[in-house]
Amino acid sequence: MSNPRIRLDVDARRAQLLEHALTLFSAKTFDEVSVADVARAAGVSQGLLYHYFPGKRALFLAALESAADRLVSEAIVTSELPAHAGAAERYASLRAGLDHYLRWVEQRAVAYRFLLRGGFGSDPDVAAVVSRTRDAFVDRIREGLGAGPDDPTARCLGIGWAAMVEVVSLEWLETADLTRCEVVEVLSQAAARLFAPLVMKG
């Protein structure tokens, strides 16, 4: 235990523990990471860690939720557009939003990978976090595009496109075949083509 145990207030300490949990769970499987590993990385006692999180599963879920919250609050932005904004204005706003999203993904690559690949088993709580994040994403995009009615078909396209953004972003992180600008281009054009019929109907 050579790390200095700095006294942090409760929220900051919790955030610090989650950051270490996230880094470890991202690099290894759920099975391979122990509560002791996280405590060691954070330079705290296991007792202190258990004071914040009752067990490994709770720690994992909290780390996942914190990554999801930050994605929703920091990465998914839409500029306020007037109700009468035209197609070109909406398209420019979509591109700017995607560019912001991908910059966030680039900066927080570890958290992003963890959120989208970090499920363990068919855990309903994990699935709920991912699905909640995707819903928030779809809502903002539909708002931004001024896309039409919220019927099952529109919803279906929305979550489909959100899944496309997630997988393409992950792939981009890993292979770097395309530049960020090129990915923004592909995804904006995809959205424009997919949602065009809805926008026109709406």
* Residues near a copy of itself (CB under 8 A): 25-33, 57, 113-114, 117-123, 127, 134, 152-153, 155-157, 159-168, 171-172, 177-178, 182-183, 186-187, 189-190, 193-194, 196-197
Give 178's DSSP letter: S
Gap between the Cα atoms of 4 and 82, Å rounded: 52
Structure tokens given for 129 = 């976090």
* Cβ neighbours, 10 Å, residue 124: 8
Query: What SS3 class is residue 179?
Result: coil
Nearer to a copy of itself, 74 or 151 (CB): 151
Least CB distance to a copy of itself at residue 179 (A): 10
Least CB distance to a copy of itself at residue 129 (A): 12
Least CB distance to a copy of itself at residue 115 (A): 10
Indicate the residue type of 64.
Answer: L
Nearer to a copy of itself, 49 or 157 (CB): 157
Nearer to a copy of itself, 81 or 168 (CB): 168
Cα first-last separation, the chain: 61
Least CB distance to a copy of itself at residue 170 (A): 9
**Cβ(93)–Cβ(79) below 8 Å:** yes
Indicate the residue type of 172.
Answer: W
Least CB distance to a copy of itself at residue 2 (A): 28
Nearer to a copy of itself, 13 or 90 (CB): 90
Nearer to a copy of itself, 12 or 174 (CB): 174
The contacts of residue 86 (CB under 8 Å, 6+ apart) are none
